């Protein structure tokens, strides 16, 4: 899912206090010691994907860059990219040492340039993961996935993990669609609505019979409207959006970065202010390469990942 849309969904869910799974208990946060600034050290450059105007994102990212600088003992500089492709290219040319991306962008970056996963974002559910749903109106008489044969569905975007590939995979696992993308064998029509909200609106207003988008998309409908829809099925879980590192970044430094960001505590007001502006997440947990094993298979079916077996080898190596 695009970062702009995903952040909007998370903030909407938080504002509406949507029912989500109970948060998992977090372990004790590591204690940190400030480090004196080493003026001779090369700066750490971080690419932040834009979710608003670039100037706003640049201002919002200052909290975490100052926090990292305080505990890493080196200059930390952030810059804004408008899309994940730009972040990958900045990392390829070593203009970015770190980048915040979605799972699909990370898998492509890992294959192309050897990018490594560092940390997964934790959402309000208390988990570093999310899933997609097949949403329908309750009054359409649709009780199971097979009832959608010969009907229409709206997805968010063709290149979208949670708004296309994951919900499509629901039908593949049910034996209703082929593993590779072939239209017209189950649905009468497939639409790409341009976003989660547009897909949900297409379903709710009767333009399509179903919508295949993120679990958080329910919050994009008004309160009375949410009571009129239901999820026929849910997808496998995907790892959350994440922080990735360029392949040549030193192991000792990457371990320090992980410790410093994992130490952010939502119950601490200063840390909360940083997290709220850092895509509104609850915190971070260490990422493993094989966290992406299942969704790599899904992405591979549509040509976005060439070697899904690369994500089944355990912990990422420096």
Running along the chain, 318 residues long, what does each successive block of 10 average in pLDDT?
Answer: 54 47 51 88 94 85 96 96 92 96 95 97 91 97 97 93 95 90 82 95 97 93 95 97 96 97 95 93 96 96 93 59
Domains of the chain (ranges; CATH) run 3-127+239-311 (3.40.190.10), 132-235 (3.40.190.10)
CA distance 109 to 91: 9
Q: What is the pLDDT of residue 54?
A: 86
pLDDT per residue over 231-255, tens digit each? 999 999 999 999 999 999 999 999 9
Give ∠ CA 169-175-179 in degrees, rounded to 5.
Answer: 50
Q: What is the pLDDT of residue 179?
A: 79
Q: What is the pLDDT of residue 83?
A: 87
What pTM, to 2 d.p., does this model score? 0.84
Residues in Cβ contact with 64 at an 8 Å cutoff, skipping those fewer than 6 apart = 78, 261, 274, 277, 278
3-state secondary structure the chain: CCHHHHHHHHHHHHHHCCCCCCCCCCCCCCCCCCCCCCCCCCCEEEEEECCCCHHHHHHHCHHHHHHHHHHHCCCEEEEEECCHHHHHHHHHCCCCCEEEECHHHHHHHHHHHCCEEEEEEECCCCCCEECEEEEEEHHHCCCCHHHHCCCEEEECCCCCHHHHHHHHHHHHHCCCCCCCCCCCCCCCEEEECCCHHHHHHHHHCCCCCEEEEEHHHHHHCCHHHHCCEEEEEECCCEECCEEEECCCCCHHHHHHHHHHHHCCCCCCHHHHHHHHHCCCCCEEEECCHHHHHHHHHHHHCCCCCCCHHHHCCCCCCC
Q: What is the pLDDT of residue 9?
A: 57
């Amino acid at each position: 899912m695009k970062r702009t849309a995903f952040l909007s969904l998370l903030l909407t869910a938080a504002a509406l206090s949507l029912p989500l799974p109970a948060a998992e208990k977090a372990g004790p946060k590591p204690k940190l010691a400030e480090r004196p600034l080493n003026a001779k050290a090369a700066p750490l450059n971080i690419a932040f994907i834009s979710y608003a105007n670039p100037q706003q994102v640049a201002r919002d990212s200052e909290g975490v860059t100052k926090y990292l600088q305080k505990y890493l003992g080196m200059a930390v500089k952030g810059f804004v990219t408008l899309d994940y492709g730009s972040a990958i290219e900045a990392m390829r040319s070593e203009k970015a040492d770190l980048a915040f991306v979605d799972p699909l962008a990370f898998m492509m970056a890992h294959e192309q340039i050897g990018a490594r996963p560092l940390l997964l974002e934790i959402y309000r559910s208390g988990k570093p993961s999310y899933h997609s749903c097949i949403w329908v109106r309750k009054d359409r008489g649709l009780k199971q996935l097979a009832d959608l044969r010969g009907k229409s569905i709206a997805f968010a975007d063709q290149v979208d993990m949670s708004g296309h590939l994951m919900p499509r995979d629901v039908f593949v696992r049910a034996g209703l669609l082929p593993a590779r993308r072939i239209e017209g064998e189950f649905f009468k029509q497939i639409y790409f609505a341009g976003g989660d909200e547009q897909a949900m609106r297409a379903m709710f207003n009767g333009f399509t019979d179903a919508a295949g988008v993120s679990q958080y998309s329910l919050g994009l409908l008004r309160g009375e409207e949410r009571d009129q829809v239901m999820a026929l099925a849910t997808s496998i879980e995907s790892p959350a959006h994440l922080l990735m590192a360029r392949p040549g970044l030193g192991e000792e430094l990457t371990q320090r970065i992980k410790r410093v960001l994992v130490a952010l505590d939502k119950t601490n007001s200063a840390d909360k202010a940083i997290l709220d502006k850092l895509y509104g997440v609850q915190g971070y947990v260490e990422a493993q390469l094989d966290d992406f094993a299942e969704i790599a298979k899904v992405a591979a079916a549509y040509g976005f990942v060439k070697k899904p077996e690369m994500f089944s080898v355990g912990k990422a190596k420096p």
